[in-house]
């Protein structure tokens, strides 16, 4: 493959996309990358379907939906787990205060929880939780995470499910706080992985070089968050380094490996997505994952829980 690698990514500041775009690591590895920002995981899936991108940063539920639709792509690496938090306006009580997830959610009965678009990992986790608890709560979808923030700040919704950066922004702008931490919503949930078109597998050298740099960036975020946050803040020119560091700290579980826990958590979504009508058939593990590259790029134990 001699043409540039077209990579879709999100605005989530703890993804390695910002480190790789803000450094010369890929260029020195012989990879020319074209970066394209998308509003959500489902939008990245559409871009894969339209053959607009070769690789993407995306939560796994949209990937499962895409696989069920016949899109020829697979998850080739992890990146982060437990990237969905429940946050609410400051007058609402937290899980630490109430001691039960159901009691936390019951505070929002008759109202709405905002999330990114339908089919995003945050949407699926929120809907599954509301359904399992049997509560009358609307899950209200927004096309961009920024719109979820606006709705929360404006008082349009009392609560939201989204990324750690959303939680940091909501705290800064409205005093909102995390009411259910990530590990209590869906343990080991695959908040993002690296997904690639199967056609790209014909260029294994490119795939391996990218994954080696992705793993390097995961380690950099975990081991040198102060340096990493400066790179991200400098690239975005929207947030400051402390914003990025705070987002890093909320769920500091970064690694490129496809750990057994990562995979098992992903497969739990298949039945949930079928129940919700997001997919019409069962999807098997081998349809979602291709392990051959990451097992070479990251042969050791996973780092998610270090």
| Radius of gyration of the chain from its Cα atoms, rounded to whole angstroms | 18
Summarize pLDDT for 4-16 with one digit per residue, the tens.
999 999 999 999 9
- Does residue 304 lie within any of the structural domains? no
Tokens of 32: 């020319």
Q: Are residues 55 and 150 in the same domain?
A: no
- Does residue 12 lie within any of the structural domains? yes
Domain housing 149: 85-185
Q: Are residues 145 and 210 in the same domain?
A: no
Q: Are residues 19 and 117 in the same domain?
A: no
Q: Are residues 14 and 163 in the same domain?
A: no
Q: Are residues 195 and 72 in the same domain?
A: yes
Q: Alpha-carbon torsion 108, 174, 176, 38, what sign?
A: positive
Q: Are residues 202 and 284 in the same domain?
A: yes
- Does residue 255 lie within any of the structural domains? yes
Q: Are residues 111 and 159 in the same domain?
A: yes
- Does residue 219 lie within any of the structural domains? yes
User: Which pLDDT does position 306 carry in this prediction?
Assistant: 76
Tokens of 250: 């909320």
Distances from the Cα of 281 to the Cαs of 65, 67, 272, in angstroms? 10, 10, 12
Find out whether 190 and 63 touch, Cβ atoms under 8 Å: no
Q: Are residues 198 and 211 in the same domain?
A: yes
Tokens of 119: 């089919």
* Per-position pLDDT tens, the chain of length 306: 567 999 999 999 999 999 999 999 999 999 999 999 999 999 999 999 999 999 999 999 999 999 999 999 999 999 999 999 999 999 999 999 999 999 999 999 999 999 999 999 999 999 999 999 999 999 999 999 899 999 999 999 999 999 999 999 999 999 999 999 999 999 999 999 999 999 999 999 999 999 999 999 999 999 999 999 999 999 999 999 999 999 999 999 999 999 999 999 999 999 999 999 999 999 999 999 999 999 999 999 999 997
- Does residue 305 lie within any of the structural domains? no
Of the candidates 56, 61, 12, 50, which has an alpha carbon nearest to the alpha carbon of residue 36?
Answer: 56
User: Which pLDDT does position 2 carry in this prediction?
Assistant: 61
User: Which pLDDT does position 152 carry in this prediction?
Assistant: 96
User: Which pLDDT does position 3 carry in this prediction?
Assistant: 79
Q: Are residues 262 and 243 in the same domain?
A: yes
Q: Are residues 72 and 103 in the same domain?
A: no
Q: Are residues 68 and 168 in the same domain?
A: no
- Does residue 279 lie within any of the structural domains? yes
Q: Are residues 11 and 70 in the same domain?
A: yes
This prediction's pTM: 0.96
Summarize pLDDT for 158-192 with one digit per residue, the tens.
999 999 999 999 999 999 999 999 999 999 999 99
For the chain, the domain total comes to 2
Summarize pLDDT for 198-220 with one digit per residue, the tens.
999 999 999 999 999 999 999 99
- Does residue 245 lie within any of the structural domains? yes
260-297 as b/e: b if 16+ CB within 10 A: ebbbebbbebbebbbebebbeeebeeeebbbbebbeeb
- Does residue 40 lie within any of the structural domains? yes
Among 160, 185, 210, the domain-final residue is 185
Helices (H), 99-238: 101-106, 121-133, 145-153, 164-174, 182-185, 204-223, 225-236
User: Which pLDDT does position 1 carry in this prediction?
Assistant: 54
For position 70, which CATH number holds?
Answer: 3.40.190.10
Among 165, 185, 205, the domain-final residue is 185
Among 185, 207, 242, the domain-final residue is 185
User: Which pLDDT does position 74 carry in this prediction?
Assistant: 99
Tokens of 74: 């697979």
């Amino acid at each position: 493959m001699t043409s540039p690698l077209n990579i879709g990514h999100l605005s989530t500041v703890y993804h390695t996309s910002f480190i790789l775009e803000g450094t010369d690591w890929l260029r020195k590895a012989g990879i020319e990358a074209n970066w394209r920002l998308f509003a959500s995981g489902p939008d990245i899936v559409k871009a894969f379907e339209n053959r607009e991108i070769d690789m993407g940063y995306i939560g796994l539920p949209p990937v499962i939906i895409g696989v069920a639709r016949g899109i020829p792509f697979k998850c080739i690496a992890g990146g982060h787990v437990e990237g969905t938090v429940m946050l609410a306006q400051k007058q609402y009580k937290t899980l630490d205060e109430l001691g039960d997830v159901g009691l936390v959610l019951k505070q929002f009965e008759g109202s709405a929880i905002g999330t990114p678009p339908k089919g995003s990992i945050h949407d699926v986790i929120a809907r599954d939780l509301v359904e399992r608890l049997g509560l009358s709560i609307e899950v209200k979808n927004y096309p961009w995470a920024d719109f979820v923030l606006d709705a929360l700040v404006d008082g349009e919704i009392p609560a939201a499910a989204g990324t750690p950066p959303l939680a940091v922004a909501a705290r800064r702008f409205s005093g909102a706080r995390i009411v259910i931490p990530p590990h209590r919503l869906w343990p080991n949930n695959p908040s993002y992985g690296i997904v690639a078109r199967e056609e790209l597998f014909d260029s294994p050298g490119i795939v391996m070089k990218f994954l080696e740099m992705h793993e390097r960036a995961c380690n950099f975020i975990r081991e040198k968050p102060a340096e990493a946050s400066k790179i991200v803040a400098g690239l975005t020119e929207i947030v400051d380094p402390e914003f990025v560091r705070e987002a890093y700290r909320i769920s500091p579980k970064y690694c490129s490996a496809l750990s057994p826990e990562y995979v098992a958590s992903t497969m739990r979504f298949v039945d949930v997505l079928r129940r919700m009508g997001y997919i019409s058939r069962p999807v098997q593990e081998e349809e979602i994952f291709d392990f051959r590259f990451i097992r070479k790029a990251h042969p050791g134990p996973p780092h998610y829980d270090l």
